[in-house]
């Protein structure tokens, strides 16, 4: 069992806490999450990289320091999940250079979301060799898969045409693969339900 980013806890701070949230703000959240993680017997946690310094967040180095603080608080491995380019460039780990910098640092576990990588590829061009390195990295703890058209993180079902399928052979054998494709919603159920009279 392992919790994933933005676990909803009963606390008085912001609803979304990520690796760019100032430690003075997020520490009480992670102390509560540590209790929950111990109760669950959690073996790891993954956290979104968050926002960059120009958008209410922090630098890449501070974000990595925060990931280490979360790891020390939870006392389990903590993987950072990179994001993707978006309007206004708000996110950390949203360029190939930032993904590579974290990989080359060699200290921080990763959660590789291939849907995010698809958006990155569409907007900044392909870097299959780097994606293969990210997947095979010994500290890649999770690989998240879902489909999208490269424009938004829609969590669609995979259709088998995703550019990254051939790269899956490189996945660290110890990584957990999460399928984040949305199977159904109440709205979709209403549209697809056949009524028999």
Q: pLDDT tens for residues 8-24?
A: 888 887 788 999 999 99
- Which residues in the chain land under pLDDT 70? 183-197
Residues 6+ apart with CB under 8 A from 45: 2, 3, 4, 33, 37, 70, 74, 76, 77, 78, 79
Model confidence pLDDT, tens digit, residues 125-148: 999 999 999 999 999 999 999 988
What are the extents of the domains in the chain?
A: 23-192
Residue 72 has what pLDDT? 98
Question: Which among 45, 38, 66, 47 has a CA at the least distance from the CA of 3?
Answer: 45
Sheet with strand 110-113: strands edge to edge: 45-48, 78-81, 110-113, 140-145, 176-179
Strand 78-81, strand 45-48: pairing: parallel
CATH topology of domain 23-192: TIM Barrel (3.20.20)
Indicate the helix (H) or strand (E) that contains 141.
Answer: strand 140-145
Token reading at 1 = 């069992």
């Amino acid at each position: 069992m392992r919790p994933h980013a933005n676990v909803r806890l009963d606390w008085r701070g912001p609803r979304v806490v990520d690796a760019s949230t100032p430690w003075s703000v997020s520490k009480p959240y992670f102390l509560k999450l540590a209790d929950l993680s111990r109760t669950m017997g959690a073996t790891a946690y993954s956290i979104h990289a968050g926002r960059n310094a120009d958008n209410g967040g922090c630098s890449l180095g501070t974000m990595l320091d925060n990931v280490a603080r979360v790891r020390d608080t939870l006392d389990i491995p903590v993987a950072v999940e990179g994001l993707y380019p978006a309007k206004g460039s708000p996110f950390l780990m949203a360029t190939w250079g930032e993904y590579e910098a974290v990989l080359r640092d060699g200290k921080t576990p990763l959660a590789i979301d291939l849907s995010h990588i698809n958006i990155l590829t569409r907007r900044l061009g392909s870097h299959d060799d780097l994606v293969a390195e990210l997947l095979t990295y010994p500290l890649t703890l999770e690989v998240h898969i879902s489909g999208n058209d490269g424009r938004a993180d829609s969590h669609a079902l995979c259709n088998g045409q995703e550019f990254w399928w051939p790269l899956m052979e490189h996945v660290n054998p110890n990584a957990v693969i999460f399928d984040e494709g949305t199977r159904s919603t109440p709205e979709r159920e209403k549209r697809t339900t056949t009524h028999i009279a």
